[in-house]
Structure formats: C-alpha cells, structure tokens
Amino acid sequence: MPKSTQKTIVARSSNQILGLVLTVVGLTPIIVVLLNAWTSGISLLNLSALYEFLWSNPFYIGFGIGFELFYLVIVGTVIIISGLALLARKMRQIEEVTVVTDDLAVTLECTVCKHKWKEHFSEAQLQAMGFPQNRTISRRRCQECRKFTRPKIMGI
C-alpha cells in the first residue's frame, strides 16, 4: 500500500512585531524628555543647554527614587536600537509538519465506454466524497475514449 506525504511549512515572524513594539516603547521616553525640554523654553538646537537640562532635572518614578533625564534618554536609545535590530533580522522560524496518509488503490469505471483504471486516493478523500454511499467521483477524462465523465468506483 503506497503512502503519500504532505509537507506544510509554517513561517512565524514574531520578531517583526516585537521589534515594532520595542521601537515605539523606546521612542516614548525620548519624545517625553524632548517635549519637557521644549516646554521649559530650551531650544532643541542648542545642544549645550539641552545637555545641561538633561543632567540638572531629575525624573522621579515614585517612593523617592529618581534619576536624571539623561539616563532616560540612554535607556530609550538602547530600546530603540534593540527594536531596530529585531526589525532588521529577516530570519523566520520555520516549522515543517509532515503528514503521512495511507493511499488506497481504487478501481474506476468510465460511464461511457466502461474502461477501467486505477487511481490512488486517501481514506480522508474517499470519506469527503461520500464513499460508500456515493459511488461516483468528480469529473475525470477517460484514458480510453478521451471523454469527460464521472467515473464509478468499482472497488478498492
């Protein structure tokens, strides 16, 4: 009894989604720090004043814990770089699934010239066609008379 194999390849690219999320999360603190500096009246083009602002203004996260805004910019930059690195990767995790099915040799008969031939079907295909209640299959061209017909299943 011949066996047929079917290979299914599933590609997953979760790195792309994680890279986008990290890039947006990394941009958020940098944008907040720059907006805070701009609303304080510091020109974003004056780098020395911006540098002084980042080191002189602390950022408090609660419970008396605080750190300078400069560190927030560094953390945001690191997160952006890691997100862009994930976006740049083109690797995908590929999972290959092999399905092995038993094939059955089915004898078919042309309804026009009564010529008989054999074809291989899996059990699932035969059940999907309604076998054994339905003994005809979809249109095939007879190898003898060359006419399209719905051959009968004569035997397995």
Tens of pLDDT along 75-99? 999 999 999 988 887 655 566 666 6
Give dist(CA 80, CA 86) in Å, integer.
Answer: 10
**Which residues, including other chains, have CB under 8 Å from residue 98's CB and lie 6 or more apart?**
5, 6, 7
pLDDT band at 67 (very low <50, low <70, confident <90, very high): confident
- Map out the domains of the chain as residue ranges: 9-88, 101-155
Q: Give the global pTM.
A: 0.49
CB-count burial class (<10 Å; 0-12, 13-18, 19+) for 71: middle
Residue 12 has pLDDT above 90, yes or no: no
In whole numbers, what is the pLDDT of the chain averaged over residues?
81
Give dist(CA 150, CA 152) in Å, integer.
Answer: 7
